A and B are shown apart, each in its own frame.
Chain A
Amino acid sequence: MKKYLNKIIIIILLIILSLIVLNYFNNDSKMLETKVNNLKEISTPGTIEISNPVFKNKGLNTNPYEIIAKKGIQIKNNIELYEVLGTFTNDNGEIVYVKADKGLYNQINQTIELIDNVTIYDDMENKTSAKFAIIDIDNKKMNFIDEVISVSDTSIIKSNSSVVDEKNNTIVYSGNVRVKVKDR
């Protein structure tokens, strides 16, 4: 009887061991699969992943600016940016800060598309937020699209879209414009 019991115990132990080994290899292959998939995504021909990219312009022909991001993926002339932070200096020397979840920087056109949770603010507590924005660096224009809200110490402006034209010193808000401004 004791002879059989020993054999049964050994068989059970072998089964448990084989299960553990199988499970380990299975997990490993899954991880490997994920890594391969990630590699496939990243290693699309013509793409380069850049960690913590920084783009600077000291302002010989344009006003100085700096754009930094947590991650960037270069696809030909465009660079997809994640967790974008930027600073732009305007003609008056004032600094404008830019934040967005995602961005698309075109080095040739000198434009930056900002997507999701776009916020632009300055040191005077003027702040504009929107779902989407395009910054045209050469033409000194900022286009805000969808759920535009501009807040200053004296007013709140809401609209469907907005264009800030620094060259012509104008800001145009279009579509369902609603303003709350201090009376006196």
Chain B
Amino acid sequence: MKSIYFVFIIFLNTNVFSEEKNDNYFYIDSDKLIIKENPLISEFIGNAYARNVENHFWGNKILVNYDNDKKIKLITIIRNVKIVRPNEEIFGDKAIYDPKLEKIKISGNVSIIQNGNILSGSELIVDLINSTSIIKGNNDKQVSVKVAK
């Protein structure tokens, strides 16, 4: 396989925000919500915005998959994705947040802004437990970095 992947590892310190982890709720707003059963899925359509203590997600559509105890299993944000986290802003076409693994995978035209620096690629994985972000590129789009002076 001729694909060339560039990997960037960025270590982030998010301990500053750990004190705010008391609220175990997700807040989601949208124009419309469709709840389907078997399996239980919530589809938030139009101006969808989800947030918990640390992370804010925007997108055209947000899908929430639940486990058997009706707890959130996966949150998928589709189209015009914007994620705001402590010290960084992430943009992409699609994002999947796994609250159990504490990981966010962003795909499509991904860009991440940190302290004025802009990194672009095709896929980004944010590990919220280890405070790491891995950005990948592919044949069509290699990772690019714009460093602020």
User: Which residues of A approach B to under 8 Å, CB–CB?
Assistant: 152-155, 157, 159, 169-184
Contacts and interface: CB of A to CB of B under 8 A. Distances in A.
B72 A171 contact: no
Interface residues of B, number: 26
Given A154-B71, A171-B34, A179-B44, 17 more contacts: A153-B70, A154-B69, A169-B36, A172-B32, A172-B34, A172-B35, A175-B32, A178-B28, A180-B25, A180-B26, A181-B42, A182-B25, A182-B72, A183-B24, A183-B72, A183-B99, A184-B99
Contact of A181 (B25, B30, B38, B69): B25
Contacts of A179: 26-29, 33, 42, 44
A155 B33 CA distance: 13
A183 B52 CA distance: 8
A175 B45 CA distance: 11
A181 to B, nearest CB: 5
Nearest to B52: A183
A119 B36 CA distance: 22
A175 B24 CA distance: 25
A180 B27 contact: yes
Interface string B29-63: 11111111110001010000000100000000000
B35 A170 contact: yes
Given A154-B71, A169-B36, A170-B36, A183 B25 contact: yes
A152, A154, A178, A179: most-surrounded residue (chain B CB, <10 A):
A179
B83 interface: no
Q: Which 5 A-B pairs have the closest CB atoms?
A: A173-B33, A171-B35, A179-B28, A169-B37, A177-B33
A182 B72 CA distance: 7
Contacts of A153: 70
Say what secondary structure dominates the interface of chain A. Answer: strand
Contacts of A177: 28-33, 44
B33 A157 contact: yes
Contacts of B38: 169
Contact of B100 (A154, A155, A184): A184
Given A154-B71, A184-B71, A184-B100, A172 B25 contact: no
A182 B71 contact: yes
B64 interface: yes
A155 B71 CA distance: 9
Interface string B81-114: 0000000000000000001100000000000000
A184 B100 CA distance: 7
B33 A172 contact: yes
A182 B70 CA distance: 9
